[in-house]
């Protein structure tokens, strides 16, 4: 446990250093492009230090119940984070393009100032696009058939949300928009694949009744994600209960004549020393294979030891990177694609792009989604 905590601290340290580094790259571009003197450069460096530590400040303010600083700090700090990410990638791309043009004998005819201003303009345009795109929920539809489903049984409609991240930035307005979409879909069951709440879980209490009022025919089920543990697992579980969710923590439940839901906790709990039920092998190996089994697991990793023991795994966590090109980097840690894919050894995996936003309130080439999965009976043949 101590080793896991040490690894997590090291990972966070590296992330903060990288974040500070890409901001300092932006400061260097601004200094060169606008011919800034040292006093203004020093102010920009101080701003970088403040923005780099802002997530820690927000966490501290939240612990002390300081609602207004949490909200203001979240909007300023995380919006800046998204803009800084975009500026870094755009400015770096312009640098590379300019270098390639010069090597090929072509003169881009852009001064350092013009290149900096172009990077700023492109960053502003993409940021506005990303802010709007983050609020345009898409409905993804998936149809699966299986001989395990009872003949004549009505199709089962499952609505999947993941990574909603309710908190200081994703509040009542966006939650109501999500619930309106869900109501229009009229699913039989609602599933949350983790991270329903966010690490900045400021003033969540008023949101639980909104979710509780949405009552699918067969209920609402969830598993924990890493942010449930960042919030505090007891607080997160209490919110889920008041919102009407049954949280599957190393447990399974039959929801239809031939359909079973099984769910495990996110392993982040073990790293933080909190109780976590992550043993999917123990959960699945003793169960009959005659039923269509859906495994709920926040992180999109497939345990080869239990393949063939479930028919469909539902996951989230990766947000498809949320801001391009982070999706390419996410594939290094989670090589499985978003959307629907076959699992070697049998079964399907569906990885959601996520319904809300973590951190920056932007999405670029990673549209938020609600997924409607329809299960239908099949007389013969393997799962399709």
pLDDT one-digit tens code per residue, 141-166: 999 999 998 777 789 999 999 999 99
Domain boundaries, the chain: 2-133, 138-377
**pTM of the prediction?**
0.92
For residue 114, pLDDT beyond 70: yes
Task: With cut-offs at 50, 70 and 90, classify the pLDDT of residue 379.
Answer: low
Lookup: tokens for 240: 């889920």
Provide φ and ψ at 168, rounded to 5°.
-65, -30
Q: Which of 381, 377, 375, 379 is nearest to 158 (CA)?
A: 375
**Range 282-298 average pLDDT:** 91
How many of the other CB atoms lie within 10 Å of CB of 17? 10
CATH class of the 138-377 domain in this structure: alpha beta
- State the Cα–Cα distance between residues 15 and 229, nearest whole angstrom: 19
Is the CA virtual torsion 270, 274, 275, 277 positive or negative?
A: negative
In which band, very low, low, confident or very high, does the pLDDT at 34 lie, cut at 50, 70 and 90? very high
Q: Rounded mean pLDDT of 299-326?
A: 94
Which tens digit of pLDDT belongs to each residue from 2-18?
A: 666 666 677 788 889 99
Q: Which two tokens stand for residue 265?
A: 């906790």
- Distance, in Å, from the CA atom of 300 to the CA atom of 317, rounded to the nearest integer, reads 7
How many whole angstroms separate alpha carbon 195 and alpha carbon 359?
13
SS3 225: coil
Indicate the pLDDT class of residue 384, thresholds 50, 70 and 90: very low
Torsion over CA: 178, 180, 181, 185 (sign): positive
């Amino acid at each position: 446990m101590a080793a896991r905590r040490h690894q997590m601290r090291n990972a966070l340290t590296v992330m903060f250093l990288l974040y500070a580094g890409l901001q300092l790259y932006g400061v260097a571009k601004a200094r060169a492009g606008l011919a800034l003197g040292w006093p203004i450069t020093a102010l920009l460096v101080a701003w970088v230090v403040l923005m780099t530590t802002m997530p820690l400040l927000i966490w501290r303010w939240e612990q002390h119940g300081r609602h207004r600083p949490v909200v203001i700090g979240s909007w300023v700090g995380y919006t800046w984070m998204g803009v800084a990410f975009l500026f870094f990638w755009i400015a770096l791309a312009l640098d590379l393009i300019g270098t390639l043009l010069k090597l090929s004998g072509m003169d881009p005819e852009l001064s350092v100032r013009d290149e900096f201003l172009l990077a700023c303009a492109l960053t502003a345009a993409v940021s506005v696009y990303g802010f709007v795109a983050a609020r345009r929920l898409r409905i993804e539809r998936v149809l699966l058939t299986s001989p395990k489903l009872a003949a004549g049984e009505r199709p089962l409609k499952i609505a999947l949300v993941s990574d909603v991240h309710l908190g200081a930035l994703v509040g009542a307005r966006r939650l109501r928009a999500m619930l309106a979409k869900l109501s229009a879909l009229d699913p039989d069951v609602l599933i949350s694949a983790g991270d329903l709440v966010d690490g900045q879980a400021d003033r969540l209490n008023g949101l639980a009744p909104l979710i509780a009022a949405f009552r699918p025919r067969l209920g609402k089920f969830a598993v924990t994600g890493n942010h449930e543990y960042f919030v505090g697992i007891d607080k997160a579980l209490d919110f889920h209960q008041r919102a009407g969710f049954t949280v599957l923590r190393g447990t399974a439940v039959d929801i239809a004549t031939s359909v079973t839901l099984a769910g495990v906790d996110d392993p982040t709990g073990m790293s933080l020393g909190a109780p976590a039920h992550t043993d999917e092998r123990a959960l699945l190996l003793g169960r009959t294979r005659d039923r269509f089994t859906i495994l709920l697991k926040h992180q999109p990793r497939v345990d080869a030891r239990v393949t063939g023991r479930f028919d469909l795994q539902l996951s989230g966590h990766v947000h498809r990177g949320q801001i391009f090109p982070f999706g390419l980097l996410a594939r290094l840690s989670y090589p499985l694609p978003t959307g629907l894919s076959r699992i070697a050894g049998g079964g399907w995996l569906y990885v959601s792009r996520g319904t809300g936003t973590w951190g920056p309130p932007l999405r670029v080439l990673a549209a938020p989604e609600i997924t409607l999965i329809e299960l239908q009976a099949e007389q013969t043949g393997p799962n399709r």
